Amino acid sequence: RRYVKYNKETINTPKKKKVMDGLYISEKLLKIIKSRTESIKDTLAHGAIKDFDSFKELRAKLNELAYIEQELKSLLEGVKEDD
């Protein structure tokens, strides 16, 4: 068995603080997504891409990052509207 030690602040964290922590994490994730997107775009524009398969892989990553970014933004809109 594993026992986890909790302090009173962890157990009695108000809902508002949890939402704020979630917003902080979400904003950080958006920054990471934007940074990675820019890096891939730079590679596509100026980098040495080995072959067409590598190009398709980078385009697929861009599409996935765009999808994740949009989903995260829509989730954030829902949280901000609830406040």
Per-residue pLDDT reduced to its tens digit, 19-43: 567 778 888 999 999 999 999 999 9
Residues 57, 63: Cα–Cα separation, whole Å: 10
**pTM of this structure:** 0.69
> What's the CA gap between 71 and 59, in Å, rounded?
19
Instruction: Tell the residue number behind the tokens 């040495």, with chain if given.
Output: 48
Measure the CA–CA gap between 32 and 38, rounded to whole angstroms.
Answer: 10
CB distance 44 to 58 below 8 Å: yes
Task: Specify the 3-state DSSP secondary structure of 62.
Answer: helix
pLDDT band at 3 (very low <50, low <70, confident <90, very high): very low
